[in-house]
């Protein structure tokens, strides 16, 4: 059985280009969505008059 290597390689290149383009666009928008959902930083919270506490202060009863 004789393989048509040119056709196989062309198909591999074609599929890889299409898949890479789709993944690249999708990952960029996924990054944008993640950035929009990220928790606020301590500096941003401070501007809103809130505090970002890393430790819960001890409150004696």
Partner 1 sequence: MLQALRKQKHLLTRSSGSVTTPLSLWYMLFEGLAWPVMNIFANLFFVWIALLYGMTKLLVLWWLLLTVLDVLVAIHAIVMEKEDLRLAFYSIFYRFFYILIIDVTKVFATLEELVGLDMQWGKLARKGRI
Q: Which residues bind partner 1 (CB under 8 A)?
A: 6-7, 9-11, 13-14, 16-18, 20-21, 23-25, 27-28, 41, 43
Question: Helices in the chain by DSSP H: which ranges?
Answer: 5-37, 42-47
CB of 31 to partner 1, least distance (A): 9
Looking at the Cβ atoms of 35 and 61, the one nearer to partner 1 is 35
- Of 38 and 61, CB closest to partner 1: 38
Distance of CA 19 to the CA centre of its chain: 17
Question: Quick check: 3 and 13 in contact, CB under 8 A?
Answer: no
């Amino acid at each position: 059985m004789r393989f048509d290597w040119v056709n196989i390689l062309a198909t591999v290149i074609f599929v890889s280009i299409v898949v890479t383009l789709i993944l690249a666009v999708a990952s960029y928008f996924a990054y944008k969505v993640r950035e929009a959902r990220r928790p606020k930083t301590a500096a941003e919270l401070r501007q809103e008059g809130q505090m970002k506490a890393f430790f819960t202060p001890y409150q004696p009863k």
